[in-house]
Structure formats: structure tokens, C-alpha cells
Structure 1
Amino acid sequence: MRELTVVPVPGPGAEDVLIGHDGTAYTGTADGSILAVSSDGDTIRRIGNTGGRPLGLEWLPEGRILVCDAHRGLLTMRLDTGAVEVLADSVDGRRMRFCNNAAITADGTIWFSDSSAKWGIEEWKSDLIEDTRTGRLLRLAVGESEPEVVLEGLCFANGVAAAADSSFVVVAETGTRVLRRVWLRGPHEGERDLFASDLPAHPDNIARGSDGLIWVTYASPTDPALTFLQTKAKPWVKLAVLRAPEHLKPKPKRTVRVAAYDDEGQVVHDIECDATKWHMATGVREHEGKVWLGSLVEPALAWFEV
């Protein structure tokens, strides 16, 4: 069991984490803030505010970061001024409900997830309980303003990562515990398959590390109650659970677990950490042997050494 170093931040729900070349950690919190945390955790500064709920973060050229904002869509933010620009907030004329996570391939194409077409982030449990399967993987080409739907019918589309050579992209499907792959070039170009299946827990964000591996967060172990609701429950049962008080609904267990896969889909690391002081890892970045974690529920980042 690994020990975590917890780094408090001035805001709840530091959901994802992005690491700069100098080791600075960037994260977004529930109040809309984008924060920069020094590598030693001693200095924190606010870069700006999206005016929404930032989730996934990625690097863009020219001193900007890409922000998947659950309320406002796909955004960019300048690191020097905090200025925000909307890249895309709708698909086929309909506003996105739950822009979540992204990856950028070598040609500049942005691949990103929209977790649900019915429920927003405040009701993320409802999408899994109802099993709407309205999640999507989308792509936004350079210079375009209209995203293209690449995969649909996903059970809570979540983290996105690309192959080291940009030959494929992977999207995590939280509800079904699989990682789906779309081949972009090579002998399998255009094909869709499973990168990994029957995962031991529900995956959340995924991201390529400096070690070349695809790191995966497991937000929670499997839950028999949720599995029953998704596979066997009658519609009226699901409706009753949706209307039930929050404390009666299935909820994540208090754990911290991450894994890392090579580009062949083989597990290289499967690491559990002490969840006493920090839990529910939803964001992950490996940088030069240090693994940073974000959490949808914690007002802090955390890290451990590989």
C-alpha cells in the first residue's frame, strides 16, 4: 500500500491534473478556478476562472491549456492572462451536457468525451444508475468549430488518451469497465476494438505519462448494487433509486487505485494507495517517476513515487 503526499488547494474537487516541464501541477476546481501548484506544493496561484466547472486539462501551443468544462464545453485558457476562449460547446446544434476529458494527437486534432447527453456533472450518479448510454467520443480538427461524433452509445464516456505514435485513441467507458480504442492509422485504420476489458474497477480519467504508458484511474471498485441496476433492474426500480435520497444511492468506495498500460494493452503497474486522508482518484499524470492524482471530491491533489 503506497503512502500519498496530499497537497491542499483553495477549492473543492481538484478533478484532473496536468504537469508542466518544470514540475508545476495544474488543476481545476468546482468554483471554476484553474490553479498552478509548484512541484513542492508550497506555492499556489490562480491562473484564471472558466466560469463553469473545469474537468480534463491538456497542453496546447502558445502558452495555452485546453480545458474540458462540464458546463461550458471545450475551452482554451492562456496561462499568462487567464483569458478564456470557447472552441466548441455544441454538437449538431445541441449543447453538450458533460464535456469531460481530452487528448491531442500529433496533427493537433482534439479527441474528447461528452459523458452524458441527459445528465450533467451534478447528477453524474444518475447517468450510471439509469444506464442512459448517451456518452460520446468526439473529435475536433484543427481550424474547425463543429465536433464530429466518432463513438456514441457509451456508458458514461470518460478519460481519453492517445498512442505514443498517435496511431490510436482510447476512451474509458466507466459504466461497463472497459477501455475502447479507435485506430487512426496503420493496418487497422478505421477499426474500433477493446484496448482493455473487464477492468477490476470503474475507470475515470486516463492520460499518457512521461514514461510512455497510459495511466488509468479507478474511481471506485465494482458495486453489486450498481451492477444490478444496470443489468437486471426494471425501469420502475431505476426510477425509484433516482428519486431516493442521496445517501441511499450507490456511491464510490473510499479507495485510491491507479494502473498503467503499455500500447499493447498490457498492465505494467497496478497500484493501491492509502485512502485514509485522500480518496477517489479521478485524474492522473505520471511525470518523471512521480504520479500526481486529482479527485472529484477532495480539495487537494495527491502524489506518490513510482
Structure 2
Amino acid sequence: MDRPTALTPLRYVDVGGRGPEDVVADAHGRVLTGVEDGRILRVDGLAEPKAEARVETLAETGGRPLGLELLPENVLLVCDAERGLLRVDLTDGTVRVLADSVAGERLRFCSNVVALSDGSVCFTVSSRRHPLEHWIGDLVEHTATGRLLRLAPGNDTPEVLLEGLQFANGLTASADGSFLVVAETSAYRLTRYWLTGPRAGRSEPFVENLPGMPDNIWRGTPDGPIRVALAGPRVPPLDLLHRATPAVRCAAARVAVHAPFRPTGTIGVLAVDDTGRVLQHLTRRHSRFRMVTSVCETGGRLILGSLWERGLAVCEAPVPK
């Protein structure tokens, strides 16, 4: 991995709600996000340096929206940590539940979603043990209960493609649609799951030993780079704890979920290609905008989302090499 490049902030935009966890850009350069109180927001004017950003509410999920996937005809897929996989009509705000259980088990922590060309939808579940409000417990306990699921067209019950993932998070497809890339946050890696070809149904490491914890993934165009938000740097004591016995990790997790938490000031964004080569590593230490959980690009700017903050950060977007 080449030497990191500075991640340069340009402005901060308050969106009027806490925790804009994922960000996606539409064809008009507007950014959609979901906040803690359940609202789906659209923010316009972020790439205009002197313009006042305009924030409008498009829908309310009635839960806690996380990962988003924008579809044609003004439709948004939403991974809701409380309600499951949702379909939101952005023209009238109608919300429909596509899936809220798998094999009789309630979906309690849906994380990110991607739509495939065959009409199916794949999405991740970060943890089967810890809910969103106790996310740090899963990172500490290292439960390996994350899943990759697929919902076929016309079905309301997903199938499990892959399980045993360490806090499954961001998700995107390769340019040719032959595989998926899944972020495993607490394993500091990206994993490839093959959809087609002789290795279909198998998984393998795609990029390992990342410099931080990968969160949501953004790909603006099929031939564009895969951008990965790094929610925080590697934590050596946490790496050491992950090698402890399950009983020790479980006890540590019980403490962690009740302990005060404040994210570090180190944030980052990676750009990766379909071969797993890291094209760019943007980072900033002592950042006032903390816990970057998502990134998208619009108007030549990078837009950063955060589970922690009450707004979005607009940054320079150096071209990946």
C-alpha cells in the first residue's frame, strides 16, 4: 500500500439529524442519507462551495435506516437496523418491508445492500447477537455472526449466501457482476464472494490487513473505483483481545457496551479496483469530523457520512492512480 494522501475537508453541513450513517449520490448530484430518528433525507448543493445546502425529508422508515441503494424510478432500498430490508418510494414516501426475517429468525441488524442485474438484492447483517446500539460489543466479542443474504425477485424470504463474517458491513458488486465485495469491519478486510463462474458460491480474501476498520462501500459507476470508508484506525489492544478465549471476549463485550465511547480523530477512505489493488489511501488525523462510516462522490467532491456526527463532511476528491 502506497503512502497515504491527506484527506482535505472543505466544509461541514448540518443535516438536522444525528448519525447520517450511509450516503449515496443520485444522478442530479444530490446526496441521500438516513438519520437516527428514521428519516430519509436528500441534501442538495453540497458540491457548491458558497451555496447553502438544502435538506428535505423524503420518507420516514419508522426504524433506524443504515445502508442505502438507489434504484431507477425513484426507488430506494434501505437496510433498517430495526425493521429489516425496506423499499422506499421517494415520490410519495411509501415504505414497504421486503424482508424482516430469515429461516424464522428476525433480521435485527441489516447493514448494507446492493441490487444485482438479475433483479435480486443482496444485503448484509452485521451481527446476530448484538443490536445496533451495542455494535461495539460485537467488535469486542468478535462473534463472527455476520451474514451475506440474497433476496430473489418475488420472494419475501432471503437465503443465506455466506455466514461466519466478522461484522459484515459495506457491500458492492464487481464491474462485470461476477462477484460481491463485503467489508468485514472487525477483521480489517474485504472479502470476495463469487456469484458466477467455476467458483460461484465460494468466498476468499479480497484485500486484507487494511489500515483501519472498513465500513460502507460506494461505487458510483461500474467502471469506477470501489471507495471504502474507514470508520476508525486499527486498535492494537483490540487485536490482542481477539486472540483471547470466547469467555474473555464475551466478558469484555459486556463491559464495552456500557462504557463511555468517543471515536478517535483518525479517519480515512480507500479506493480499490476489481483486482483488489489499493489505488488510493486518504487519511486525516485529529479530524473534528469523526467516525466516517460512508463515502460517496458528487460534483468532484467526496461526501462523508458518520454514525456519530449530526452532518456531512465535504472533502477534496483526488483522482485515484
Q: Does 2:172 correspond to 1:172?
A: no
- Alignment partner, residue 65 of structure 2: 54
The match for 1:25 among 31, 44, 50 is 31
Q: Tell me how many residue pairs correspond in the alignment.
A: 305
Cα displacement (A) at 1:232: 2.2
The match for 2:300 among 289, 293, 297 is 289
Contact 2:111 2:125 in 1 (8 A): yes
- Normalised by the length of structure 1, the TM-score is 0.94
Cα displacement (A) at 1:224: 1.7
Cα displacement (A) at 1:68: 0.4
Distance in structure 2 (CA, Å) of the matches to 1:150 and 1:109: 13
- Alignment partner, residue 7 of structure 2: 2
Q: Secondary structure in 2 aligned to 1:257?
A: strand
Contact 1:167 1:183 in 2 (8 A): yes
Which deviates more from structure 2 when the two are superposed, residues 104-113 or residues 148-157?
Answer: 104-113
The match for 1:270 among 256, 265, 281 is 281
Distance in structure 2 (CA, Å) of the matches to 1:274 and 1:66: 33
- CA offset digits 1:136-159 (Å, max 9, x no partner): 011111111111101101111111
- CA offset digits 1:43-63 (Å, max 9, x no partner): 110111100000001012322
Distance in structure 2 (CA, Å) of the matches to 1:289 and 1:109: 31
Aligned-residue RMSD, C-alpha: 1.8
Q: Does 2:83 correspond to 1:72?
A: yes
Letter paired with 1:2: L
Report the CA distance shift for 1:265/1:240 in structure 2 as closer, same or farther (over 3 A): closer
The match for 1:217 among 205, 210, 229 is 229
- Alignment partner, residue 118 of structure 2: 107
Distance in structure 2 (CA, Å) of the matches to 1:288 and 1:155: 34
Cα displacement (A) at 1:276: 3.2
- CA offset digits 1:221-250 (Å, max 9, x no partner): 11122112211256146415523674467x
- Alignment partner, residue 39 of structure 1: 45
Distance in structure 2 (CA, Å) of the matches to 1:240 and 1:16: 28
Which deviates more from structure 2 when the two are superposed, residues 137-146 or residues 283-292?
Answer: 283-292
Distance in structure 2 (CA, Å) of the matches to 1:181 and 1:174: 14
Contact 1:229 1:238 in 2 (8 A): no
Report the CA distance shift for 1:221/1:276 in structure 2 as closer, same or farther (over 3 A): closer
- CA offset digits 1:178-234 (Å, max 9, x no partner): 111111123543332111111111111112133611111111111122112211256
- Normalised by the length of structure 2, the TM-score is 0.90
Report the CA distance shift for 1:37/1:152 in structure 2 as closer, same or farther (over 3 A): same
Which deviates more from structure 2 when the two are superposed, residues 34-43 or residues 73-82?
Answer: 34-43
Contact 1:90 1:146 in 2 (8 A): yes
Distance in structure 1 (CA, Å) of the matches to 2:16 and 2:243: 40
Report the CA distance shift for 1:300/1:193 in structure 2 as closer, same or farther (over 3 A): same
Q: Secondary structure in 1 aligned to 2:241?
A: helix
Contact 1:215 1:286 in 2 (8 A): no
Which deviates more from structure 2 when the two are superposed, residues 125-134 or residues 86-95?
Answer: 125-134
Distance in structure 1 (CA, Å) of the matches to 2:236 and 2:251: 18
Report the CA distance shift for 1:222/1:276 in structure 2 as closer, same or farther (over 3 A): closer
- Alignment partner, residue 243 of structure 1: 255
Contact 2:24 2:218 in 1 (8 A): no
Q: Secondary structure in 1 aligned to 2:73?
A: coil
Contact 1:29 1:53 in 2 (8 A): yes
- Alignment partner, residue 15 of structure 1: 21
Cα displacement (A) at 1:275: 4.9
